[in-house]
Amino acid sequence: MLKARTRGFFLVLGIIVVGACAFSFFLKTDSPINETQAMKIFYDYPVVSTFDEMAEEAEFIVSGRYTSLDSKWNMARNPENIMEEDSENYVEGWLYHFEIDDVLKGNLESSTILVNHKYSQVITTTESNAVVDDEGNILKAATKENTLSFSVHDPMFIEPELDSTYILFLLKDKDFGNYYAAVEPFSIKVENGIPELQSNLLNNTKTFSEEIAVGGDRTVDVLCDVGMGVDDFISGRSLEDIIQAISTSK
């Protein structure tokens, strides 16, 4: 009886020793960094599919011309004091001078405004050799880490043509005084009196891919997804018709 107990004791002890050694080996083993190869970014922008929605969402609708690029700035702000830049994030906005010919909706006293176009943002991601379970919990802490930082173009950005005529659908940033896209699309270019909707989402395009070099021979595939594309909902409409529709929507 005693012999059996002793045998059992040593058996359990043996299992514990082997288990502890295996666990210690598991903790000390250095696996290589699990390199980020692909990334997807979903942007939840307000996208509209009709002209009426576009006019309804805008606080200001103006026609006029971009005259020059004023400056580039960091749209990411410190939430504690938004007059300061965010020290952890960088979102580049391009501020353009826009000379107003007509105010079609809203009260605007100035004849020149600054219109912000979001250009890009810096994405930062840390890759490591941490062992992670199916639910995202770290089972084994990283012994090697590498931080990647790169700039991704905003999928909505279209560089405006200086001195061409546009109708813009805008909101006002009450903190900084500049104006920005109320929705997507937010811009109609008027070429020889014919209105043309401006958007990268036309023809129902909703995803945009970029292969970004991150050093050495390495690249990361970044897929930006805006959720929905749009049809050209002003196609065939005249400028007069659009201006009339704006005045009735007010």
Partner 1 sequence: MKKGLLWMSQGMLVGLIMACIVVPMLTLSVSAYSLESFHLKSKSASFVWGDRIDTPGSVIRNAWESAISDWASASSCDFYSSSNSVNELNSFYESSSSLYGRTKLTYDITTDAIYIASFEAKINAGNSSISRSNVARSTANHEFGHLLGINDLSSGTAIMNTNRERSTIYIPQTDDINGVAAVYG
Positions touching partner 1 (CB under 8 A) are 34, 36-49, 53, 75-79, 82, 86, 89, 91, 93, 116, 118, 123, 125, 130, 132, 134-138, 171, 173-176, 178, 180-184, 206, 221, 225-229
Q: What angle do CA 72, 78, 83 make, to 5 degrees?
A: 60
Nearer to partner 1, 123 or 239 (CB): 123
Nearer to partner 1, 182 or 234 (CB): 182
Nearer to partner 1, 25 or 42 (CB): 42
| Shortest spacing between CB 133 and partner 1, in angstroms | 9
Question: Which sign, positive or negative, has the C-alpha torsion 240, 241, 242, 246?
Answer: positive
| Shortest spacing between CB 13 and partner 1, in angstroms | 31
Q: Is the distance from CB of 225 to CB of 32 less than 8 angstroms?
A: no
Nearer to partner 1, 212 or 228 (CB): 228
Nearer to partner 1, 21 or 132 (CB): 132
Distance CA 158, CA 168 (A): 13
| Shortest spacing between CB 46 and partner 1, in angstroms | 6
| Shortest spacing between CB 7 and partner 1, in angstroms | 40
Nearer to partner 1, 79 or 193 (CB): 79
| Shortest spacing between CB 12 and partner 1, in angstroms | 30
Where residue 66 falls (left for φ over 0; alpha for ψ -120 to 50; beta otherwise) is beta
Task: Dump the DSSP string for 158-204.
Answer: -PPPTT-EEEEEEEE-TTT--EEESSBS-EEEEETTEEEEE-TTBTT
Nearer to partner 1, 59 or 241 (CB): 59
| Shortest spacing between CB 225 and partner 1, in angstroms | 7
| Shortest spacing between CB 158 and partner 1, in angstroms | 16
Strands 219-225 and 131-132: what pairing? unpaired
Which residues, at least 6 apart from 14, have a Cβ–Cβ distance to it below 8 Å? Answer: none
C-alpha distances (whole Å) from 248 to each of 101, 182, 191, 245 are 20, 19, 24, 5
